[in-house]
Amino acid sequence: MNPPPAPDHSAAGTSRTPRARRSLTLQLTLIVAAIVAMLLGVLLLDGNRYWREIVGEQIDAQLSAVAESRRNMVLAHLAQLKQRAEMMAEHGQFRGLLNNLIMGQPDTINRNYSQGRLDEMADGKRMFSAMLADAKGRVLLASKGTDVLGDVSSDPAFTKGMSGIYVGPPCSVGDHSEVVLAAPVRDYSRPVKIAGVLMMTVDVSPLAAALRDTTGLGQTGEVLLGVREAGQMRFLFPPRHRHDVLLFPLTDTPAMAAATNGRDFLQPTRDYRGEPVLAAGRPIGYGGWGLVAKMDEAEAHAPILGALRHALWLGAAIMLVGLAAAWMLARRFSRPISQLAAAAESVARGELDVAVPVASQTEVGVLAACFNEMTAALRARTAERETAELQLAEAQRQLQQHAGNLENTVRERTEKLREIVEELEAFSYSIAHDMRAPLRAMTGFSDILLTDHAGQLDETGRRYLQHIAMAARRMDTLIVDILNYSKVVRGELEMKPVNVEQLIREITTTYPALGADRADITVASPLPRVLANGAALTQVVSNLLGNAVKFVAPGVRPYVCVRAEKDAEGVRLWFEDNGIGIAKDAQARLFHIFTRLHGQEEYEGTGIGLAIVRKAAERMGGSVGLESEEGRGSQFWIRLKEADDS
C-alpha cells in the first residue's frame, strides 16, 4: 500500500501567513471605521432633521410675523385712503354744486369753487387727478389736465363709489403706483341721498415701497399682494423676480390662492417661478385681496446646509483620526501575532532558534510564552533525534562493514568452491572420456575377431568373445548415462516455452525402440506448452518412454499414453503404460541413482535413467512421481510450470 502524499508544509506556510497578518490589521481597522462611520451617519441625519425642524419653525414664525405686520400696514393704508376720500367728498362746494344742478339752478360760484378745489386736490401731495360725477355718471368737473369727461356710469369705481368709499386695486404706472379712489357725495339737504361721486387717482408709492421692503426676508424673500381676476391671479405690485408679468395661473400661486380665498396659509410650497419656498399667506379682508410673505427654501435652509457641511468636515476629520487610532490599535494587537506567525514560519522552515518577545500578560503574551516553550521542546527533541540518527548511521556503517567482510569471505569461498567443482568435473569428465577409448577398442577388436577370424575359434571361444563385447557395450552405456546425469546435475539450464507434443514426435522418430513397429505411443492432444529446458526435457521424456516400452512382460506389445493435467502448481504430464508395474515398497527408492529392480538378464539397464528424470525435473523447478501396482502397468508423471505464452 502506498502512503498518502505528505502535505507540503513549507509552501503552505509561506503563502498563508503574511496574508493572514495583513488582513488582521485591515479587518480591525475596517471594523472600527465602519462603527465610526455609522455613528457619524446617524448623527448627521438626525442633526439634519433636527435643524430643519428648528429652522423651519423659526422661518415660519418670522414669515407669519412679516405677513401679519404687512397686512396691518396695508389695512392702515386703506383706512387712511378711505378717510381721506371721505373727507374730500365732504367739501360743501361739491355738495352745493350737485344740489343746485339737481334743482336745475345754475351755480357758477360753486362750480368755480369746485373746479378750484379739484385742481387744488390734483396739485396736492399724492394725488394725480380728481373728477366729480353726478348720480347718473356724467362727469361734471375734472382737475386740470384731466381729459376724461363724459359718461363714467359703467366705471366700476363710479358704481362702487355710489354705495360707499371705494379703493381700487393698485396699479403701477411708470415708477410709481396709483389707485383709483371713489367716494360718494351726499345730498346737501338730505344726506342719505347720494348726489354724485368724487373720483380721484391717488399715488400709493409709499405703500408699494413699504411692501417692497424685504427686511427680514433675506436675498430671495418678498411680500406679495394679489387679487383674483377672471380665474387668474393678479399681483397688485410687480413681484421681485418678474418685473414684467403680473398675471399668473392660480395653480402656480398656491399660497396666494389660499390668501385670496380668505384662508391663512403657512407651509412649504412653490411660488410663481416654480421654486420651492416657505410661505405665509394672509387675507387682507378687503376686496378679496391677499398677502403672501415668502422666502426661498434654499436660502432658508442655507444655514442648515452650512452646518451640515461643517459637520461633514468635522466627521471626516473624526473619521481620519478614528482610522488612524484604529490602525494603530490593530497593529498593537496584531504585532505580537505577526511576530508569532513569523516565528512559526521560521520553525516550519526548520529554524528552531527563534524566540518571540513576551511583551504583556495578555492572552497573546501567554501564547507567545507557550510558543517559546514549544520551540524549546522542539529544539531538545531535534537534538535528541540528531544524536539518535548519528548513532544509527554509525551502527549502519558498522553493519555494512561486517556485511561487506562477510560478502567478501563468501565470494572468496564460493570462488574456491567453484574452482574445486570445476576441477572435479573436468577430472570425472576426462576419466569417463578416457574410459570410453579402451572400451571402444574392446568392442572394435571383438567385432573384428568375430567377423574376420570366427573360423579360427570354436563355439565356446566365440561365445566368450560375445560376452566380452556385450560387457564392454554395457560399460559404455553406463559411462554415457553417468555423463548425461552429471550434465543434468551441473549444466546451466535455460528455460524456454517448449511444445511437448512436437518434442515427443521428434523423440519417437529418433529412437528405434519407440518406433511405431515396436510400440504404440499415443498423445492426448492438445498438450499445453511448458516452461522447460529443451535438452533436459528431451532426456526426461525419452527416458520415461524408453522405460515404458522396455519394462513389459515378454510377448506384450508396449502401449504408452501421454496426457496432460493442469492444476494449481502447473502442468502434470502423465505417462501411462501397460508394463509390468512396480511394487509399492520399491517405489520410494526408484528415483535414486543406481537403483535397479531387475537383473541384467531380465531387463538391461544402468539404474541411472530415472535419477536423471528426477534431477532434471527438479532443476527445471518441477517434480516427478508415479502411481503403479505390480502387474497393472505404471503411471509416471512429471510436473512443470505452464508457459505464459500458451
For another protein, the binding residues (CB under 8 A) are: 429-430, 433, 436-437, 439-441, 443-445, 447-448, 451, 469, 473, 476, 480, 483, 487, 491, 535
C-alpha cell, 283: 387675507
Buried b (16+ CB within 10 A) or exposed e, 223-240: bbbbbbeeeebbbbbbbe
Q: Are 277 and 268 in contact (CB under 8 A)?
A: yes
- The Cβ-side half-sphere exposure at 77, using a 13 Å CA radius, reads 26
For residue 279, give the nearest of 237, 221, 322, 230 by alpha carbon. 221
> Residue 421 or 448: which CB sits closer to another protein?
448
3-state secondary structure of 274: coil
d(C-alpha 31, C-alpha 28), whole Å = 5
- Minimum distance of another protein from residue 492's CB (angstroms): 9
Residue 136, burial from CB neighbour count under 10 angstroms (0-12, 13-18, 19+): exposed
Q: Are 292 and 223 in contact (CB under 8 A)?
A: yes
Q: Which residues pair with 636 in a beta bridge?
A: 575, 626
> Residue 39 or 475: which CB sits closer to another protein?
475
> Residue 236 or 439: which CB sits closer to another protein?
439
- Minimum distance of another protein from residue 507's CB (angstroms): 18
- The Cβ-side half-sphere exposure at 25, using a 13 Å CA radius, reads 17
> Residue 218 or 461: which CB sits closer to another protein?
461
> Residue 354 or 470: which CB sits closer to another protein?
470
- Minimum distance of another protein from residue 445's CB (angstroms): 8
Alpha carbon distance, N-terminus to C-terminus of the chain:
32
> Residue 306 or 491: which CB sits closer to another protein?
491
**Torsion angles phi and psi, residue 134, rounded to 5:** -85, 180
Q: Output the 3-class SS for 193-257.
A: CEEEEEEEEEECHHHHHHHHCCCCCCCCCEEEEEEEECCEEEECCCCCCCCCCCEEEHHHCHHHH
3-state secondary structure of 373: helix
- Minimum distance of another protein from residue 645's CB (angstroms): 26
Q: Are 184 and 91 in contact (CB under 8 A)?
A: no
**Torsion angles phi and psi, residue 11, rounded to 5:** -65, -45
* Cα four-point dihedral sign 99, 105, 110, 116: positive
> Residue 17 or 477: which CB sits closer to another protein?
477
> Residue 64 or 477: which CB sits closer to another protein?
477
DSSP 536: H
> Residue 368 or 620: which CB sits closer to another protein?
620
Distances (CA, A) of 473 to 66, 457, 461, 511: 163, 22, 18, 18
- Minimum distance of another protein from residue 463's CB (angstroms): 18
d(C-alpha 573, C-alpha 635), whole Å = 10
For residue 622, give the nearest of 640, 598, 603 by alpha carbon. 640
> Residue 286 or 429: which CB sits closer to another protein?
429
If you compute the radius of gyration of the chain from its CA atoms, what whole number of angstroms results?
A: 75
- Minimum distance of another protein from residue 390's CB (angstroms): 54
> Residue 369 or 421: which CB sits closer to another protein?
421
> Residue 386 or 447: which CB sits closer to another protein?
447
Number of neighbouring beta carbons within 10 Å of residue 252: 15
